[in-house]
Amino acid sequence: VKKLIIKGGQLLEGEVHISGSKNSALPIICASLLCQEFVKLFNCPDIEDVNRLLDILRELHVDIKREADYIEINSHSLKNIAINSANVSKLRASYYLMGVYLALFNHVQINMPGGCDLGSRPIDLHLKAFRLLNGKCEVNYDQVLIDSKKLKGNKIFFEIPSVGATINAMLASVFIEGKTIIENAAKEPEIIDVANFLNKMGANITGAGSCIIEINGVKRLKGTEYYVMSDRIEAGTYALMAAGRGKEVDIVNFNHKYNNGFIAKLIESNVKFKILDNKIKILSSKDILPLNLKTGYYPGFPTDLQQIYLALLTQAKGISKVQDSIYKSRFKNCYELNKMGARIIVDENVATIYGPHHLNGAEVTATDLRGGASLVLAGLMAEGTTTILNPEHIFRGYSGILEKIRKINGNITIA
Ligand code: EPU
């Protein structure tokens, strides 16, 4: 069992290069199975969630070649078998195999997908979409079984604009004759990236990024090459580290077009920065101001950055409130931050942060991916040594985090 050890107080300086997007790469890797030819994917992040997904695919007889700068996937021998790898229950994104298998085989049997524990994470909207496309869905304990004689196009309205359900509905419907329409679709940039990839393979999808997506079925897809977009959450994470402890840090491959909600909050909390072409330069930011921060569906403030922003707000001059309207229990990191000297009170889905409180190094536990990243930021800002237990949560979603932090002068080791 490993631990991360951070010696706090160093001033961060230099450049961080942002990797490919996790929440784009995972569905794109699954989508590549739809063509059953060679697909070459550039800019996939080197993270545990991708490794787990590739392991699941290998068990399904997919050929995978992983080179330093690309992954080549060939699924011509993909097997129509039950997907019951132990990895399925550790990886939320394994639900994308439902849409893919339905499209290819009209059938899928898969374990219930797992992922970070953020409170209840149902898949009812995914199943609703499959039912509307003429699938029969059964859930028995931890097994999901979906079957269809023939999938049929339909209009799918989502009560909640779910990222996963929207992508799954696109995947399931690429080959359906005629038109499928998704209404109140999620608008996250990752959905545009997945649709662009599918279209590059020959699919006919329009409207991705808006709340109505239209899929016109095609007969087949062909192999292609694709460059995955950069990770807006990883970019935000390093920007917040720089805001907390930076002298001058350039976050390279920062896509400002997709980060407006985040940038607006940086301004409000008095973080000093400059936006240049493909990067954001975070300057030394001494007087962080408190915030009211509410997460929302895109283009709202991303829930995936809420826990990390919250760690920065422990140093703001005054009282902040952070409310997560997407995942009501995404606050487990607060108890750990309090062990380091923060003063945070959590009441249902609202955290009140009393700042500024001096942080001291302590032994803390990463309970989920983004919560883990918030502890890394706290460790960098704290005086003394912070030990983070269960760092494997962090490695699920942050590519080369140790190297990246060391490159900007942070003192972080693994033991
Ligand atoms: N929801 C339902 N029913 C469903 C699906 C979702 O009620 O069938 C609810 C959820 O409980 C939640 C809301 O809808 O309250 C939104 O969930 P969504 O489906 O959009 O999230 P997801 O697809 O499960 C993805 C990312 C998450 C990210 C969210 C929101 C992947 C693999 N995961 O999850 O990423 O927080 O979208 O943007 O893409 C992370 O990277 O740390 C992470 C958790």
What pLDDT score does 47 carry? 97
Q: Whose CA is nearest to atom 18 of ligand 1?
A: 162
Q: Is the peptide bond before 356 cis (omega within 30 degrees of 0)?
A: yes
Q: Could you tell me the distance, in angstroms and rounded to a whole number, from the CA of residue 303 to the centre of ligand 1?
A: 9
Closest ligand 1 atom to residue 126 Cα is 8
Query: Ligand 1 centroid vs 329 CA: distance in angstroms?
Result: 13
Atom of ligand 1 nearest to the CA of 120: 11
pLDDT value, residue 208: 98
pLDDT in tens, the chain (415 residues): 799 999 999 999 999 999 999 999 999 999 999 998 999 999 999 999 999 999 999 999 999 999 999 999 999 999 999 999 999 999 999 999 999 999 999 999 999 998 767 777 889 999 999 999 999 999 988 899 999 999 999 999 999 999 999 999 999 999 999 999 999 999 999 999 999 999 999 999 999 999 999 999 999 999 999 999 999 999 999 999 999 998 999 999 999 999 999 999 999 999 999 999 999 999 998 899 999 999 999 999 999 999 999 999 999 999 999 999 999 889 999 999 999 999 999 999 999 999 999 999 999 999 999 999 999 999 999 999 999 999 999 999 999 999 999 999 999 999 9
Per-residue pLDDT, 115: 72
Contact by Cβ (8 Å): 96, 126: no
- Give just the sign of the alpha carbon dihedral 95, 97, 99, 105: negative
Q: Whose CA is nearest to atom 29 of ligand 1?
A: 163
3-state helix, strand, coil in the chain (%, to 5): 35, 25, 35
How far is ligand 1, taken at its centre, from the CA of residue 227, in Å? 23
Which neighbouring-strand residues pair with 321?
Answer: 292, 352
Q: Which candidate in 116, 137, 211, 334 is catalytic? A: 116
pTM: predicted TM-score of the whole model, two decimal places: 0.97
Ligand 1 atom closest to residue 116's alpha carbon, by position in its atom list: 44
The residue contributing the CA closest to ligand 1 atom 39 is 23
CB atoms closer than 10 angstroms to residue 154: 19
- Name the residue at shortest CA distance from atom 28 of ligand 1: 304
CA 103, CA 172: separation in Å to the nearest integer? 5
- What is the 164 CA–ligand 1 centroid distance (Å)? 6
Which residues have C-beta atoms less than 6 Å from ligand 1? Answer: 22-23, 26, 92-93, 116, 121-126, 160, 162-165, 186, 188, 303-304, 326-327, 369-370, 397
- CB atoms under 10 Å from CB of 46, counted, come to 15
Concatenating the DSSP letter of every residue in 82-117 gives: -B--GGGGG-GGGGHHHHHHHHHHSEEEEEPP----
161 alpha carbon – ligand 1 mean position (Å) = 9
Q: Exposed/middle/buried for 274, CB within 10 Å: 0-12, 13-18, 19+?
A: exposed
What token pair was written down for 358?
């001096």
Q: How far is CA 82 from CA 29, 35, 137, 143, 397, in A?
A: 19, 20, 15, 10, 27
Per-residue pLDDT at 280? 97
Q: In ligand 1, which atom is closest to the CA atom of 368?
A: 42
334 is a catalytic site residue? no
